[in-house]
Amino acid sequence: MDIQQDIQTKIYDVMASGNTPGSFYLYDTRPMTAKLEELKQKLPPSVQIYYAMKANGHEAFLKTALNANVKGIEIASMGEGARAIDAGFSFDQLIFTGPGKTPEELLWAVENGLDKIHIESLIEAHRLNKICADLGVQQDILVRVNPNFDIHGAQAKFSGDSSKFGIDENLFMDLLPDILALENLNFKGLHVYAASGVLQVEDLLENCRRVFTLACDIEAAHDGLKCDIIDFGGGFGVDYLETGADFSVDIYAIQLFKLIEKFGFEDRQFVIELGRYLTADSGWYCTEILDIKTSLGKKQIITRGGNHHFRRPVALGINHPLSILPTNTEKVFEGQESVEDEMVFIGGPLCNSVDKLAPKDIYVKKAEIGDIAVLGLAGAYGLSMSHVNFLCHPHPPEIIL
């Protein structure tokens, strides 16, 4: 991984300042701004872009999304909603997704006039309807469907299997009349988010194609019903393995235009909720190398921070790009071990076997004790997904370039 000069300088400065516990996240949100600009230019104008803040809820990312004029924020909890509001979004820019929304969260959402609530089950629909009836208000909803199909090549799948997300496609047709009969809910359309981390544009377009077909089937089965809004989730992939297979927004945009035309859906609104694609390359996790030793012929690099700071690589079993920044640190003793052109283990100080910063052995050209290990593409699902309290180690600060 090549790290830009200004990022490297900042990493050295922060480490040398002594103001961190030797591990930190560095964020530079310029790539996010550029991506949002590109998406707005290239996608059909009927596609509304929401930022899925679960990828990184730091204020810097929310403000970047705000300044880039995204349509709004996709939240998955009341806590995320509060953060989005603090960053400057308004309640009518929030859409609320995710299974297991509590009655308190639903009440909060309705009382504050959230734009749309995405229904994940029949219980949730009834619960929400009762809240709306008690308050004497109407609420716009999308209904989330767990599709029968599976997306190839995804890093995480939310479809094609028994799932806590949404209502099974097979059951949906039977249950929809019950939802439509709920007097305080306005059915606006569908939400189908099948997979995350998809690099093949064609696979993600297949999701769109199938969702459009489902919308047509629903409308054919229910006289007068229209899916005005179709949300096909996030899922744009990030090339963590740096194989050069970046997600092509150009192809996606062109094909989506064609698909919309083919289905005669020019009068519909579409929603995408992007997280990873917007933020992954805006973040680096940096941590000092404390120890290097050989165990059964393989070098073990031990860093100050471990997967309590950066759990994602192990959670998804995918290595992130790793760079070692040299520091010329004074040796602890003459003859201490170092790494030279070899495959190594790298992990932190936790007393469990899953504390790895790279789930698979990873190539390191050169590393010495005191050098800085930098994991790239760490701007999405980094700190927020990590179990920072384990073993009471210090939390890594988040530093903005």
Ligand X SMILES: Cc1ncc(COP(=O)(O)O)c(C=O)c1O
Helix 169-180 to helix 122-135 angle, to the nearest 10 degrees?
A: 20
In sequence order, what are the residues at sequence separation of 6 or more whose Cβ sits closer than 8 angstroms to the Cβ of residue 9? Answer: none
Going by their DSSP bridges, the two strands 362-367 and 339-347 should be labelled as: antiparallel
Please give the span between the terminal C-alpha atoms of the chain, in angstroms, as a whole number: 19
Task: State the number of binding residues for ligand X (CB under 6 A).
Answer: 17
Q: Does 39 bind ligand X (CB under 6 A)?
A: no
Query: Looking at 146, 196, 303, 307, which residue binds ligand X (CB under 6 A)?
Result: 196
Across-strand partners of 44?
Answer: none
Which of 80, 124, 169, 273 is in the footprint of ligand X by CB under 6 A? 273
Tell the smallest beta-carbon distance from residue 74 to ligand X (Å). Answer: 5
Neighbours of 181 (CB within 10 A): 10
DSSP type of residue 392: G
Closest CB 89 distance from ligand X, rounded Å: 16
Under the criterion CB under 6 A, does residue 204 sit at the interface with ligand X? no
Q: Which stretch binds ligand X (CB under 6 A): 38-46, 48-56, 134-142, 324-332?
A: 48-56
Q: Does 276 bind ligand X (CB under 6 A)?
A: yes
Q: Which stretch binds ligand X (CB under 6 A): 31-39, 47-55, 101-109, 134-142?
A: 47-55
Beta carbon of residue 157, minimum distance to ligand X (angstroms, whole number): 11
Lay out the site mask for ligand X across 289-328 (x = CB under 6 A, - = otherwise): ----------------------------------------
- Considering only 57, 81, 147, 235, the residue that binds ligand X (CB under 6 A) is 235
Q: Is residue 283 close enough to count as binding ligand X by CB under 6 A?
A: no
Indicate the Cα dihedral angle 384, 387, 393, 394, nearest 10°.
10
DSSP state of 397: P
Q: Are 312 and 381 in contact (CB under 8 A)?
A: yes
Contacts for 262 with CB less than 8 Å, ≥ 6 apart: none
Report the distance separating Cα 217 and Cα 282, nearest Å.
41
In contact, 139 and 132? CB cutoff 8 Å: yes
Backbone angles phi, psi at 19, to 5 degrees: -90, 5
Interaction of residue 55 with ligand X, rule CB under 6 A: yes
Closer by beta carbon to ligand X, 74 or else 115: 74
61 interacts with ligand X by CB under 6 A: no
Helix (H, G, I), strand (E, B) or coil at 174: helix
Site map for ligand X, 64-93, x if CB under 6 A?
----------x-------------------
Residues at the interface with ligand X (CB under 6 A): 52, 54-55, 74, 97, 193, 196-197, 233-236, 273-277
